[in-house]
Amino acid sequence: MELKRKLALDVCLNLGLTENSFDSIYLNMWRNIREDGGFRLTERGFEWLTEIGIKSYTISLDKKGNNQLHDIKTGNILLGMDRNLKVPYHIKNNKLSIFDDNISTQILLYGGDLKAYIDAIS
């Protein structure tokens, strides 16, 4: 089963919702609902994954002298993340929350520079 669908089903089951709720959960969980779309979560999707106990790791994106906040707002970095990250993530208030300890560590090793990380993995 595809990861996006599996996570939406896990939310349904862990929150005691019926399978009839699956479509609604899936549509409200992901920013890009296409099957081949990225893993960026909506605010509600982030809350659901946190609520069912999936651990996220938070990285501050607000670095001095860094243009990445501008690039995120214009979508340049988001497109790269959408294409290359295969785990759920959420961006809010200049913070990236990612649901994978290995990838969060790799991003930290790049000093929180998402562009450098995306360039390296693409």
pLDDT digits (tens, 9 = 90+) for 53-75: 999 999 987 665 555 666 676 67
| Region of poorest pLDDT, from 6-20, 30-44, 79-93, 104-118 | 6-20
| Bridge partner residues of 57 (DSSP) | 98
Q: Where are the alpha helices (DSSP H) in the chain?
A: 3-14, 22-29, 43-51, 68-74, 76-84, 101-109, 114-121
pLDDT in the model for residue 97: 96
Q: Please state the φ and ψ torsions of residue 36, each to the nearest 5 degrees.
A: -95, 10
Q: Which residue has the higher pLDDT, 61 or 24?
A: 24
Predicted confidence (pLDDT) per residue in 109-121, tens digit: 988 888 889 999 9
For 54, the token pair is 């999936």
Distances (CA, A) of 54 to 34, 61, 70: 23, 22, 29
The two tokens of residue 87 are: 């785990």
For the chain, what are the domain ranges? 1-52, 55-122
Distance, in Å, from the CA atom of 104 to the CA atom of 102, rounded to the nearest integer, reads: 6
pLDDT over 90 at 43, yes or no? yes
The predicted model scores a pTM of 0.87
Q: Is 63 left (phi over 0), alpha (psi -120 to 50) or beta?
A: beta
